[in-house]
Structure 1
Amino acid sequence: MEVSILKKVTSVKVEMKIKVWYTSCMRKMSQHVPGQEADACSTHVPMQRAMSLIGDVWTLMIVYNLLGGSRRFGELREAMGNVSPKTVSQRLKMLEEDGFVDRHAFAVIPPRVEYQLTEKG
């Protein structure tokens, strides 16, 4: 097999767009460490402290929707404008690990899980 190059390439421009989700204190979601939500970026300014604990718009929307009481996964997702299930699942897991949300699984078929805010949340 013989390959020949007809044009000499002098420059190549490659553009990549990468989306990275961030949690509290601009930690990448993949680097989130449970229990370090307050220590990583404690501050004396109440709004900054609240945002460091909440992190991003989707997490804030979950907390807001849970203020009225417990909700199921599908109800949360619908209230948030049908955000992707992966996004809602990741944020709920993070909130649960940080102690802001309790997850209650019922032993029924089909499976039923409800989420509610804790005292900390």
Structure 2
Amino acid sequence: MPTVPPPKRHPYDQWAPDARALDLVGDKWTLLIVRDLVGGPRRFVELQRVLPGISTEQLRSRLNRMVADGLLTRQRYREVPPRVDYELTERARDLLPVIGALARWGSQWAWSPPRADEAIDIGAVFRSCPGIALPGSVSGVVEITAESRDGQLKRYVLQAAGGNVTYSERSEPDADARISGTEQAWIDALGPEQSRSDLQVSGDKRLASALLDALSPVAVADAKVA
């Protein structure tokens, strides 16, 4: 049995495994912090950047709690200015299928074009991929490039193997497939309309389509019918 973390300040007070789980991950931001650390360690300021809307105090409090709960490790480095990295533990990584299932549910039942008050980070959509199971026949590396509205290029790498997906934020010269597009092209492709006409795809197009289909609410519906 794993070490039981300390009781939550405001627990559900019910002897049930789902209630115990929500004691640990039911707070606002917790699951998104897990999602945003899926690619590896991040510093405090990097987490602030990918979590728009969270205050400095909220983030500090939530990270401290997640370390105490055994969901994160904190690594301090002797640098000037001081550097602290946060990384997922095995306990937190076991939540990735939960995040993947939540993303699929959101795609089917809560998805829409971006609202006026929502920040857009294409990478946030792909960070749920490690929790989404793929057919074992899907294998390879896809490099994704998104051009933001100010012209900056952001690159992400998804690697599929054995039905699993890993995510990282980097370039990959040896990718089996490449998908690129503007921010609006990605919104059109990943949104409810599923319009991929403005994306540029090179290399293994079947692999690229399989990874995009995994995020599709249409794919979720088809899976339920099957």
The TM tier, using the shorter chain, reads 0.5 to 0.7
| Equivalenced residues, count | 86
User: Where do 4+ consecutive residues of structure 1 move more than 3 Å?
Assistant: none
Q: Distance in 1 between matches of 2:86 and 2:14?
A: 26
Measured on the aligned residues, the alpha-carbon RMSD in Å equals: 2.3
User: Superposed, which structure 2 residues align to 1:57-68 within 5 Å?
Assistant: 57-68=28-39
> Which residue of the partner structure matches residue 105 of structure 1?
76
In the alignment, does 2:56 pair up with 1:79? Answer: no
Gaps of 5+ in 1: 1-33
Contact 1:69 1:116 in 2 (8 A): yes
One-letter amino acid of the counterpart of residue 91, structure 2: K
Give aligned-pair identity as a percent.
Answer: 39
Contact 1:41 1:52 in 2 (8 A): no
> Which residue of the partner structure matches residue 95 of structure 1?
66
Q: Distance in 2 between matches of 1:42 and 1:67?
A: 30
Q: Distance in 2 between matches of 1:102 and 1:41?
A: 28
Greater share of strand: 2
Structure-2 change in CA distance of 1:35 and 1:110 (3 Å): same
Structure-2 change in CA distance of 1:120 and 1:83 (3 Å): same
Of 8, 13, 16, the residue aligned with 1:43 is 16
Q: Distance in 2 between matches of 1:42 and 1:78?
A: 37
State the SS of the aligned residue for 2:33.
helix
Q: CA deviation at 1:69?
A: 1.1
> Which residue of the partner structure matches residue 28 of structure 1?
none
Q: CA deviation at 1:67?
A: 1.6
Q: Distance in 2 between matches of 1:42 and 1:73?
A: 34
Q: Higher relative CO (CA 8 A, sep ≥ 6), structure 1 or 2?
A: 1
Structure-2 change in CA distance of 1:53 and 1:42 (3 Å): farther
Q: Distance in 1 between matches of 2:47 and 2:70?
A: 18
Question: Which one has the largest radius of gyration?
Answer: 1
Q: CA deviation at 1:55?
A: 2.1
Q: Distance in 1 between matches of 2:26 and 2:68?
A: 14
Structure-2 change in CA distance of 1:120 and 1:42 (3 Å): farther
State the SS of the aligned residue for 1:56.
coil
